[in-house]
Amino acid sequence: MPTSTTVIALTVAAAMTAVRTVHGLDNGLALTPPMGWLAWQRFRCITDCKTYPDECISEKLFMTAADLLVSEGYADLGYKYVIVDDCWLSVNRTADGKLQADRDRFPNGIKALADYVHSKGLKFGLYQDWGVKTCAGFPGVFGYEETDAKQFAEWGVDYVKLDGCYSDVRDMDLGYIGFGQHLNKTGRPMVYSCSWPAYQEDKGMRINYAALATFCNLWRNYGDIDDSWTSVTNIADYFATKQEFWAQYAGPGHWNDPDMLVIGNYGLTVDQSKSQMALWAVLAAPLFMSNKLNAIGPEFKEILQNRDVIAVSQDALGMQGYRVFRDRGIDIWTRPVEPVRGGSYSYAVAFVSRREDGAPTPYTITLEHLGLKHYTGYTVKNLFNKQLVNGAENYYVTPKSVIKVRVNPSGTVFLRFDVSMSVVNSEDKLYNGTLKDSIAFI
């Protein structure tokens, strides 16, 4: 059993300090990690609409996504941004230097698409690139920053993803900040997603995260996600390596972005999908699905629509969680959440199995070992599997209670411990739950 509880105490203290000192981009947006749908991971740069009419980057793809976000119940849960990624542009600007969408694939233009998305009660996001070209080779904003920022506002854009291909990494800090100021001057509030740290990280440069938190609502820290468990764990491990540094810059209005959710596609099993969803919730990551919304299996949809996990993701404190232990193939991640009582946080705790040997791994730990020490104890909820032992949903545990989990290979048991509002006097029923000295999540 791990013993270094001081590590947790220190990391949590650091996170608390940071929440008080970092001031984010002051546009009133993204106070919780933004949620929605983003084309790139699943649809890339498919432009052949004759052969792939349902998959090509076209107004139809985004209108369909908007329709399905609403009709399939995602919008009600918070998935409200419909975001166009690369390959929407015409290869040329207009004669007067304005950006224009590809005419065949976006025959009604971007304004009409934004209007359609808005008519569904959703928000509209658009991709561009700070360089001379986008990553796929279309015209970038470099040299046209003011014109393009105004254009976005005129079109009704609510969210700008600004990539960094075809630009000089050394100039990115100032370039991105400058473009952000042009966005600000339009007077239209637009979420601003920056990519400069991913490019500078790649070059081993020192990254000015304080500037990111001041000028961007979110930023891509690291490489693109792919549709595989290897990619998900690679990103999670990299975030864990950097957590002491990165987590302090996350908070309402300013987020680290480990990239899209790939749940519901080809690469992740059901267990791995639970793991990505739990990890992204713990990391206070934006939740942007990149998938084919009308072709998602019900078991994957249930994961994407898990209200309890979304509640962790959208917790108002906005504190990014940490990987606190690695032990016998189980990674334990914790995130402080509301409610807070007497200076003690509630916690979401994810037990993520990195094992691939066939049987579920049993793991036992007390709450005090996880740093959950509040004397009034906690109510506990199992977020992916509502059934606890005896079929009850709510139990009450103390810091000395033993938590027993059994984690499927590459899966996750995700628990939530809400600090109790009243003191326990005995093993009486309390808080609509039953006091447990030992509780098993099977």
Ligand X SMILES: *[C@@H]1O[C@H](CO)[C@@H](O)[C@H](O)[C@H]1NC(C)=O
Provide the pairing of β-strand 361-366 with 378-382: unpaired
Are the C-beta atoms of 209 and 221 separated by less than 8 Å?
no
In the shown chain, the binding pattern of residues 137 to 176 toward ligand X, with x for contact by CB under 6 A and - for none, equals: ----------------------------------------
257 is catalytic: no
Binding of ligand X at residue 27 (CB under 6 A)? Answer: yes
In the shown chain, the binding pattern of residues 412 to 441 toward ligand X, with x for contact by CB under 6 A and - for none, equals: -------------------xx---------
In terms of Cβ atoms closer than 10 Å to its own Cβ (0-12, 13-18, 19+), residue 170 is exposed
Count residues near ligand X (CB under 6 A). Answer: 11
Binding of ligand X at residue 178 (CB under 6 A)? Answer: no
Of 285-324, binders to ligand X (CB under 6 A) are none
Binder among 21, 50, 95, 187 for ligand X (CB under 6 A): 187
State phi, psi for 159 to the nearest 5 degrees: -155, 130
Binding segment (CB under 6 A) for ligand X, from list 104-112, 184-192, 287-295, 318-326: 184-192
Binder among 9, 91, 389, 442 for ligand X (CB under 6 A): 91
By beta-carbon proximity to ligand X, the closer residue of 189 and 267 is 189
Binder among 178, 189, 329, 399 for ligand X (CB under 6 A): 189
Query: Smallest gap, in angstroms, from Cβ of residue 184 to ligand X?
Result: 4
Binding of ligand X at residue 98 (CB under 6 A)? Answer: no
Are the C-beta atoms of 98 and 151 separated by less than 8 Å?
yes
Binding segment (CB under 6 A) for ligand X, from list 21-29, 195-203, 216-224, 347-355: 21-29
By beta-carbon proximity to ligand X, the closer residue of 305 and 434 is 434
Residues 233, 405: Cα–Cα separation, whole Å: 21
Q: Choose the catalytic residue: 163, 257, 259, 271.
A: 163
In the shown chain, the binding pattern of residues 372 to 411 toward ligand X, with x for contact by CB under 6 A and - for none, equals: ----------------------------------------
Catalytic annotation, residues: 163, 224
Contact positions vs ligand X (CB under 6 A) = 26-28, 91-92, 184, 187-189, 431-432
